[in-house]
Amino acid sequence: MKQLIKTYFRLTLLILLLLPHTAQAQAARPAVLVLNYHDVGTPTSPYTVTKANLEQHFKLLQEQGFHPISPELYLAACKGEAELPAKPVLLTFDDGYRSFYTDVYPLLQQYHYPALLSVVTAWQQTGAPADIGQLATWEQLRTMEASGLVTIGSHSHNSHRFIPINSFGDRAQALASREYRDGQYETAEQYRQRVQNDMEQTQAALTNNLGHPAKFYVWPYGEYTDTAVELANAAGFELTFALDDETSTAIQPSAVQRTIIYDNPTGPQFLQLLSQTPKPLKPLKIAQLDLDMLANTNRTELETNIDEAIALLQRSQVNTVFLQAFADEKGNGNIEQVYFYTTAAPVKQELFSHVAARLQSAGFQVYAWIPTLAGQWLIQTPDDQVQALIPEQAGWYNRATPFSPHVREQLISLVNDLAAYSQLDGILFQDDVYLNDYEDASPAAQAAYQAALGQPLTAAALADFAYAAKLTDLKIHTLNKLTLDLAAEVRKIRPRVKVARNLYPLVVTDPKASAWLGQKYDDYLNLYNYTVIMAYPYMEQAADPKAWLTQLAEQAMTKPGAREKTIFKLQSYDWSKKRWLAGKTLSEQAQTLKSNGVIHLAYYPLNVFSPKQEPLPF
């Protein structure tokens, strides 16, 4: 075990040494504007552009000095076999509409612009759904491809659709979701086989009708997983395309991000897009929602509870929800069950995916608020548990040790299931990811200290300043790496997931607190999309809540990137006095934070069922 730990630390150091060189190589690649169009004609959906506006777009590309490139040139640049022109732009069109042949293709010929057209091969054979309309025929596709201007790619065979994902009947994109059918969840292997079959079928259809397989694959709705990318590559697709909000992206060999053309932009609007002006920072308005409060085995009552929660969120103009994914009805933070389908932990009720789907349908971004070390099922033997050098100094949660490979494997399985069977926009790590200065003295931790520091944790060693400093760094690194490994596992299935982690406020205001908690604010800002500071003045027994919040905000906002990446979470309930805080109090506290530069605000908990609950002040 000691040799494994030594190898782990050496590999970590090697990766860190290589990171700057990787970043320099990426920075040397030019940014490419990749545009995504759909139908052309009279707008019957937000994804349709008029021919007049499209022609205006083409003209503006020419006037602004953009150089449309083919997907083949983009691929060659990815391989380092070609250089791109200045201001490159790649035009992509999805679904294979007849209008591409009648309206877009003549414009491509007029301007000598290349483009990628992706088709759903099953639709080519059996016809498209009624809301899609007429498609270009195989003969028309062959004619356009022969011109050298149009490249035909796949938009799947029969996966441009939604499938059921739970017993409630919620649906999600086929290639990025596990299917729920006949009371059973699709396994990882069944999912893999379904995606592989679809890849093989679309390549067969393209080969039979065009005379060759396709090199380019466009993910339906922009959704994909690492497994799907792997299977696309195995099927012969050399480059895949997704969707994102970014207007330009460095060239990359997989899941190229595209800007979707939406709401039939006029010439001036398209010109604004071409300017690639950075979007203004959008404040996150967050509510942290207890699923314990909504859970009910009666379907009618459950839906009523969800309706009431959504109504409060909408009245409060919330845009993001941190949704509890675990059961904590005792309120002690020692988690015994979860609310999602998994084989890695006890399940109380499979609710999370449904409530998340309801919230997303109502327009909210949903982060899964997940436990990490406080999952009691992780502690199968005493050696799996965080142990304090002085037992009386043990922390306030009963936690599993982050130094145990066994614990790590269980957590990896847990978050893999969460991502596979739920639709997520982000994850929030619970505040159980900490170690105090007397922790961890478990056998796995002691072995790690011996390997990395040359001696285990003892009272004498802890009294040595140099050893204690190195010990703190090692604990911080271990906790950080665990959360990053879990986030990476989630992103194998949900690649665009954002990651947030709870931070104790003392870490911000007192430099010595890193040793007491195993957390470091600077690390959070560098490693996660968002740092969530638990700004709970009453829990911290602040004599003057306003002064306490002012000091916290002032010190937090001095860090580079803090304004964009830090969320201040206010308590809306005073646990010590067992009372909900008045709306006026919350409003004053929010204003105090905002006057000190805070952009992103959150509230916890929510008084969902009170008729007197005022909208949350943002």
26 pLDDT band (50/70/90 cuts)? very low
Q: Is the pLDDT of residue 25 over 70?
A: no
Query: Is the confidence at residue 23, as pLDDT, over 80?
Result: no
The answer on pLDDT for 273 being more than 60 is: yes
Q: What is the pLDDT of residues 307-323, one digit of tens each?
A: 999 999 999 999 999 99
Find residue 596's DSSP bridge partners: none
What sign does the dihedral 199-204-205-211 (CA atoms) show? positive
Is the pLDDT assigned to residue 292 strictly greater than 70? yes
- Taking 80 as the threshold, does the pLDDT of residue 19 lie above it? no
Question: Which of 333, 524, 434, 453 is CA-nearest to residue 6?
Answer: 453
What's the rounded mean pLDDT across residues 439-461?
Answer: 96
Give the pLDDT mean for 582-608: 97
Q: Residue 79 carries which DSSP code?
A: T
CA-atom Rg of the chain in angstroms: 27
Spatial contact of 608 and 568, defined as CB atoms under 8 Å apart? no
| Model confidence band, residue 245 (pLDDT cutoffs 50, 70, 90) | low
Q: Is the pLDDT of residue 367 over 60?
A: yes
Q: pLDDT tens digits for 529-585?
A: 999 999 999 999 999 999 999 999 999 999 999 999 999 999 999 999 999 999 999
* DSSP annotation string for 191-218: HHHHHHHHHHHHHHHHHHHHSS--SEEE
Residues 6 or more apart whose Cβ sits within 8 Å of residue 351: 291, 294, 295, 302, 339, 340
What domains are there in the chain, each with its CATH number? Answer: 29-275 (3.20.20.370), 285-604 (3.20.20.80)
**pLDDT tens profile 168-191:** 999 999 999 999 999 999 999 999
pLDDT in the model for residue 30: 66
Of the chain, the percentage scoring pLDDT greater than 90 comes to: 90
Q: For residue 544, give both structure tokens.
A: 């003057």
Q: Quick one: DSSP state of residue 605? A: S
DSSP reduced 3-state for 160: coil
Give the pLDDT confidence score for residue 419 in this predicted structure: 98
Residue with tokens 């003295």: 441
pLDDT per residue over 381-406, tens digit each?
A: 999 999 999 999 999 999 999 999 99
Peptide bond into 505 cis (omega under 30): no
Sort 615 into a burial class: Cβ within 10 Å, 0-12 / 13-18 / 19+.
Answer: middle
β-pairing, 171-173 with 162-164?
A: antiparallel
At residue 613, the pLDDT reads 87
Residue 248 has a pLDDT of 62
Note the pLDDT of residue 17: 35
* The pLDDT value given to residue 31: 87
Q: Is the pLDDT of residue 71 over 80?
A: yes
**Contact by Cβ (8 Å): 367, 322:** yes
Q: Would you state the structure tokens that stand for residue 348, as one six-digit string?
A: 């109380």
464-510 pLDDT, tens per residue?
Answer: 999 999 999 999 999 999 999 999 999 999 999 999 999 999 999 99
Residues 6+ apart with CB under 8 A from 527: 480, 483, 484
Q: 38-61, pLDDT tens digit by residue?
A: 999 999 899 999 999 999 999 999
Q: How confident is the model at residue 29 (pLDDT cuts 50, 70, 90)?
A: low
What is the Cα–Cα distance from 600 to 566, expressed in whole angstroms? 7
Average pLDDT over residues 299-303: 98
Q: What residues contact residue 302 under an 8 Å CB cut-off, 6+ apart? A: 294, 295, 296, 351
